[in-house]
Amino acid sequence: MAIYRYKNGVPQIGKDCYISDSARVIGNVILGDGCYVGHGAIIRADYGRIRIGGGSAIEENAVIHARVDATSILGNKVTLGHGAIVHGDFLGDFAVVGMGAVVGRKSTVGEWSIVAEGAVVPTGESVGPGKIVAGIPAVTIGEVTQQHKDYWLWAKNMYRDLARDYASNLERLDLR
């Protein structure tokens, strides 16, 4: 894993986290317990701060970047899909940002909301709690149901378990 101090910003990593050796965690980052940071992911808090709650999954090639002098807060058990880009200020607990989706500067995504794959939440926009949004720009297309919550709890727990399992079962073979 590559964890970098930037000036006075030193990442704080919770227990039972997995951070891929190809991921980058830079600067003033607090990563809660049991998080998964996938291959190629970048969590960059050089000019601002990033706080990620426990049990969150930052999947492969996702990028989180904090605005200058601002704090980006991702709640507990947030999922950022493969290739997602988050420059927003707040993602509530259990929020999902789908593969290739973008959450623009100064934007917020409410608790249990789902930003569909490829959607764009433009700068300064807000997604209310429990909403499903899709499109460019993202518009509300539905409400999160118990079926959605059940699936996403299962998926979030799968990544939490993967973070733990990688510690003992992931073996790099090309360095032998």
| pLDDT tens readout for residues 102-127 | 999 999 999 999 999 999 999 999 99
- Give residue 23's pLDDT: 97
Strands (E), 2-153: 2-4, 12-13, 18-19, 24-31, 36-37, 42-52, 57-58, 63-65, 71-74, 79-80, 85-86, 90-91, 96-97, 102-103, 108-109, 114-115, 120-121, 126-127, 131-134, 139-143
- Give residue 114's pLDDT: 98
Residue range 145-171, pLDDT digits in tens: 999 999 999 998 998 888 888 888 988
- Give residue 160's pLDDT: 87
Residue range 22-65, pLDDT digits in tens: 999 999 999 999 999 999 999 999 999 999 999 999 999 999 99
pLDDT at 101 over 80: yes
Domain 2-169 falls in which CATH fold? Answer: UDP N-Acetylglucosamine Acyltransferase; domain 1 (2.160.10)
- Is the pTM higher than 0.85? The answer reads yes
